[in-house]
Structure 1
């Protein structure tokens, strides 16, 4: 039985990742902040496809949420740290609460779930952790200092953890999406989408399914020699060389 856990699973990239991993998984553990019609629909879909599903509700930045997710779990093959939030504020007006929440959800959440996964995966001698970063963690963005810092931290965390766990047979990688056409972005309207698309050499936004395909690759045996990497699914917005 192949088991995977995805945080922030109900919508957008998280949902697409769950559906992609379900093609190679037997047991899905889904985390989201609270119950919702979207989460219920996802569970129904997975169960109809024959994938055993467990739901763990709660804030990823709370230690008890991670403990609950791993309670009684005997094996985990893949962890995807996807849960996140986004809000804009210039640094001169950003509140401590805004900064603190952004860091907690992205960095504390990734740490808490990765720590639990590492304990289990090192015992079993295998596993893959995929952290969802962002091109803004590489480029930075005005009015998103807190988000950029959190995503940049996830990239550094990924590389450090990959070095620490490699000897135990555990791979750790990150995916850094560029602008992605999720339902939340679609609600911002065609003008916003057109302006955002123009920022990328490919002149369009990505899709959640394109991000999910990269996550699924990193989680698979095809990426068995890949660790400590940041794969940019960003339409050319960041070009490393």
Structure 2
């Protein structure tokens, strides 16, 4: 079922993991997909070729989203946009007292500046057309916090607050803003850390396993769909029960 036929979606960090699975899911559903990642991400071209097999339009938008000028340059090539998925990010463990200024700054620039930069440029298009969906990828650690991940937790918590504030500002103009907060997910990064790491992480969740990227992508597609037309400012936890709100 191609429920996103004639829709355009811009996905940051689309070269692997959740971003890749989200791009595949939207392509299968008929959307035109703009794939963003760093120029050094070698798998993006392969993903483009894979998506083209679904008979949809695919454009590479390579560039660092923490660079506001580069983001403006990328979005200047887009006439209208229906969906933005702010997914790009990375994980780095370091204790608070060992953390350098640069490590803190880079974490904030990729997650918070990147989300801000892309949302601002997408918003110019969406507000003009009176509709749009922005889906920001946060984390359960943005709600719980985690030792040796103070900067990551702070950045992801910032995305949650950003989502709620922007939902209030742009909701009256037809732009819905929500966030997905995944728990531990079997991305290439986690796989590289070895099976023992995944087993230890899985034990922290009531479901006793990690998520698959496709499970996160399914929720992203729901938030972008008409079925979620009365949802904005929401933080949707896909975390195996690691965070239970209520």
TM-score (norm 1): 0.97
Deviation of 1:36 (Å) = 4.0
Residues 88-167 of structure 1 aligned to structure 2 (within 5 Å): 88-167=93-172
Deviation of 1:69 (Å) = 2.0
- Determine if contact 2:131/2:173 at 8 Å carries over to the other structure: yes
**Residue 64 of structure 2 aligns with which residue?**
59
Of 35, 38, 41, the match for 1:33 = 38
**Residue 238 of structure 1 aligns with which residue?**
243
**Residue 78 of structure 2 aligns with which residue?**
73
- Determine if contact 1:6/1:79 at 8 Å carries over to the other structure: yes
Seen in structure 2, the aligned counterparts of structure 1 residues 186 and 72 have a Cα distance that, compared at 3 Å, is: closer
**Residue 3 of structure 2 aligns with which residue?**
none
Q: SS state of the match for residue 64, structure 1?
A: helix
Q: Distance in 1 between matches of 2:133 and 2:28?
A: 16
**Residue 177 of structure 2 aligns with which residue?**
172
Stretches of 4+ aligned residues off by more than 4 angstroms: none
Deviation of 1:133 (Å) = 0.1
- Determine if contact 1:2/1:24 at 8 Å carries over to the other structure: no
Deviation of 1:22 (Å) = 1.5
Seen in structure 2, the aligned counterparts of structure 1 residues 184 and 57 have a Cα distance that, compared at 3 Å, is: same
- Determine if contact 1:56/1:68 at 8 Å carries over to the other structure: no
TM-score (norm 2): 0.95
Q: Distance in 2 between matches of 1:163 and 1:219?
A: 18
Of 201, 226, 231, the match for 1:226 = 231
Q: Distance in 2 between matches of 1:220 and 1:206?
A: 22
The reply to whether residue 214 of structure 1 matches residue 228 of structure 2 is: no
Q: Distance in 2 between matches of 1:188 and 1:26?
A: 34
- Determine if contact 2:28/2:54 at 8 Å carries over to the other structure: no
Deviations 1:92-134 (A, max 9, x none): 1100000000000000000000001111101101110000000
Deviation of 1:72 (Å) = 3.0
- Determine if contact 2:12/2:88 at 8 Å carries over to the other structure: yes
Deviation of 1:41 (Å) = 1.2
